[in-house]
Amino acid sequence: MKKSKLLGVAALATALLSGTVGLCSGCSKTSDEGASLPFTWQNTNLYFVITDRFYNGDKSNDNSYGRPYKDSAGYTAGTFHGGDFKGLTQKLDYIRSLGVNAIWVSSPVEQAHGWVGGGPMGMYQYYAYHGYYGLDFTSIDANMGTVEEFRTFVNEAHKRGIRVLIDVVMNHSAYATLKDMCDLKFGETANGVDPCAEWMPNASAGETFHNRPVDARSYPSWDRWWGKDWIIFDAYGEPCGAEDGLDKCLAYLPDFKNTNPNANKVSLPQFLLDKWKTPNPKYDIPAAIPYRQGQMSVAQFQAHWIASWVEEFGIDGYRADTVKYVSKESWKLLKEYSVAALNKWREKNKGKDPAADWTDPFYMTGELWAFTTDPEDKSGFAKDGGFDSLIDFYFNPDGVNLNTCIMPDQSDWEKYGKLYGRLEGKVPLGNLTYISSHDTSLCRKKNMAKAALNFLLLPGSVQIFYGDETSRVNDMGGGIDMEQGIRSDMNFPKDVDNAKEWAANVATLSKEFSKDNEILAVWQKIGQFRLRNPAVGAGYQEKLSDGSYCRMFKDKAKGIDNAVVIHVGDAKQVEVGKCFSDGTKLQDAYSLKYYTVKDGKVEGDFNFAALLEIKR
């Protein structure tokens, strides 16, 4: 439905309430890819993928750097499983069918080549499949794919209207592993152990994989690693344990000295300079090459390295790891560099990628452990740290446990609507709510259809953890570690090859969904409803006399004027007069039927839910 951008304020408000205004000026309503669908970060439906555990699109890269599928103890709990960017690209239609408008992928930077001890008992070899053990921030990890494969993934996501976020780890480097010490010639081993040889713990002597023979005392050979100017590490005279706070080591991970972005300039680590002497265009990030030289503070090097991914690929945002362990000043520096990098990429890629024409600001969300809500930014993470939102831990706050989540309900809709809903504008600091997490547990309730309804329609932004929609199980890491089981391999439905059809009409009204998995079909319907309607997550909410919810949102700059009515439960009629005027043609995204408003209501046979929007 076309509308003019020249509507007066009063006429605009009247049109909004009557339902005569549709989505947005100039927006495609029939595109099967959806790059021009209305979008606001306040209505994000984000899909979080651990790339390695999603889908294997190229088996030739599975054993990069000598990484095995099965470790030397015979386990796969902590190894790389083969997922890569080719696999993600192949499954983008599936992801789009969930109504997803943003995807967060685990950090794509080159990770530690080797292993550390895994599990409380050190039973297995634990590799960096999750992306949190960065080694070279200017190169892509070969297990994930090549520079051009990542570029293709981002471009194909953009064609479908999906924004791409990468996980960012500024707090710490990887542990020192034997394989890295062998490959990059730094550090010392205990008892003269050859770092290039396979090492197995001596069980009779009480050893486990936690006892890998890395000698972290002060030896000149450690200076070839990051060095004392870069990190806190035992060999540099500053013990690195399990501590909490800025300039402290989290879980024994070497802590980058990046608290002050204007600190003294440092030289680049010798192991990286030696590595970079042999360029590898297949994996080196072109935009990062200029920052493989010179001197600047640790935080400045890191911010340039990370922002170069934005400049090279058009990354739309970050999920920042361990936010409270890095200073707000350093986060803000990263945001500043990244905003400039995105503007540079957009200018360069006009006509090559639809995202070059997007005007959405660069987005940064972050993990602040135990955070819930702070819409007015009393904590200063938006003002002083550059964050647009923080992850909301409320519905799954515990450590590694089975099914300890709290399921949202309508009372939470009312609470979150008051916190985050706006008719216009936005709150200073948004949220990103999840029910499952890679660090806590998988939320698996008896009625996962109801979970989809209550969670996906929660005001504010939401984050699906891959497999929430298919009830992916905790496989206990092959039976030995519950934490690794949270990150089990993705369980696609049997009819996943039909994903292109499922995603073909998300901009209008899809009528094709998974037939193999009825619960998945519910997640698809509700997610697509949210995708088409910014008011679901961003809008002002009013509860109507029959218990229905009217949500309304407008953004004059983007020409967005949107209203929806949501009703939960069975009904013969639904009140809609607050959002839609008599005679307005509506569609129900759940039943896939059409209705006409009469006397402020629509009549029909509504089962489970009614998701009412303007007919498209």
Active-site hit among 321, 353, 412, 613: 321
Closest CA to 437 of 364, 371, 516: 371
Which tokens is 393 given? 């831990």
Active site (annotated) includes residue 512: no
Closest CA to 360 of 45, 46, 34, 38: 38
Q: Are 552 and 539 in contact (CB under 8 A)?
A: yes
Active site (annotated) includes residue 367: yes
Residue 277, number of CB atoms within 10 A of its CB: 7
Distance, CA of 111 to CA of 136 (rounded, Å): 7
Residue entry with tokens 């439960």: 569
Reported residue count of the chain is 616
Q: Are 591 and 606 in contact (CB under 8 A)?
A: yes
Closest CA to 284 of 110, 144, 155, 135: 110
Burial profile 502-512: b = 16 or more Cβ within 10 angstroms, e = fewer: bbbbbbbbbeb
| CA angle, 352 then 355 then 356, to 5° | 60
Per DSSP, the three-state class of 571 is strand
Estimate to the nearest angstrom the gap between the alpha carbon of 429 and the chain centroid. 17
371-374 contacts, C-beta under 8 A, 24 or more apart: 373/416, 373/419, 373/431, 374/429
The identity of residue 366, as a single letter, is G
Residue 463, number of CB atoms within 10 A of its CB: 24
Active-site hit among 52, 312, 367, 388: 367
**Residues catalogued as catalytic:** 321, 367
